[in-house]
Amino acid sequence: MANVTRRAVWNGGFDFSIIKESVPKLKHGQALVKVLCSGICGSDTHQIQGLFPGKPPPRVLGHEFSGEVIKVADSSNDYLLGKLVACEPFISPCEGECSFCNNNPGITCPDRSHFGGFSQYLVLPINAIHELPKGMNDLVGSLTEPASCCISGLKLAKFESGMNIVITGIGIIGLLTGVFAKQLGANCVIMSDFKEDRRNLAEKMGIDIIVDPASEDLRQVVKSSIGEFGCDIAIEAVGSLNLLEELFPIVKPRGTIQLAGVNLKNKAFPFDSFDFHFKEITLTGAFGKGDYFSEAIRCLSELDFSEFKGKFYPLDNIVAGFKNSIDANNIKTFIKPHA
């Protein structure tokens, strides 16, 4: 049984320290999870670059992780022993009693507790872990948190079956949003990205139309495939506000534009306010997991990830992992704490 855990403590910038700590004794309602796979999110990379607000260092980052339950405090939870689980990255001690949590569970609450997935072992409350279905591996399980963000985003955009969706950017958020929209009955999903490997992956995962913006005009593709009035929902999933200008012409009157990519702090909107006013566009953000963690696991279980290729780094090489993620060399970069 593990009594010591190694953790990657972020000290600011690209400075990380690998430290050893004693594993805390389990209390009632807790479990010990061996972290197997932990994804690096765009908000993580932006934070170490000083481009994104958050709790200052020193701290352990990482909020997209899965693992194996190796110990439980209560015999009533013995059924979880040895099970692969996806882990919610934080909980709110107010248990939904404050106005923040009533509107967005655990995301905006100022009293939330963050666990830090770039660790070998974590003591977590039972209500923060979710058993993975048979056949789902730890890599796919670690995508539960971003997947829940994608589902929450579609809900915020008031997605309905039969709608037409356009997404710029085939990172993990764009990809999962697109395939979930298809799962939920979208009529047509169009995705755009400069990188060929990402376009190929989206096609293999069932996206209807894939656009290479280097050689194709997205506006013309939308017009010819959906119609001159445009799509119902246009989603910016890169984290580039400049792409907003491209979305206004392709979304229909009274349609919705959503910012789902991780955008930088203190950036101004670069679009023509007349178009926003005249077409009566709804503009919405999409940031957190909402209350869709369990639904995300179910949706992920219905997808084929056989063509999905991430990049993996051990805990001791976390800086290289962050640099790879920033360079966007792969659709997703992961830390394997026990590698």
Of 62-66, 97-101, 142-146, the least confident: 97-101
Using one digit for the tens of pLDDT, what is the confidence trace for 43-62? 899 899 988 777 889 999 99
Looking at residue 113, its pLDDT comes to 73
The pLDDT-based confidence of 224 (bands split at 50, 70, 90) is very high
Which residue matches tokens 């009594």? Answer: 3
Checking if the pLDDT of 336 tops 60, the result is: yes
Which tens digits make up the pLDDT trace of 121-174?
A: 999 999 999 999 999 999 999 999 999 999 999 999 999 999 999 999 999 999
Residue with tokens 């809900």: 155
- Say what the pTM is: 0.93
Q: What is the average per-residue pLDDT within 18-30?
A: 95
Q: At what angle do helices 293-301 and 144-156 cross, to 10 degrees?
A: 110
Number of C-alpha atoms within 13 angstroms, CB side, residue 262?
Answer: 18
Residue 91 predicted with pLDDT over 80: no
Structural domains in the chain? Answer: 4-142+306-336 (3.90.180.10), 150-285 (3.40.50.720)
DSSP state of 56: P
> What percent helix, strand, coil does the chain show, rounded to 5?
30, 30, 40
> What does 207-218 look like in DSSP terms, one character per residue?
-SEEE-TTTS-H
More confident site: 216 or 277: 216
Mean pLDDT, residues 79-89 taken together: 96
3-class secondary-structure state, position 105:
coil
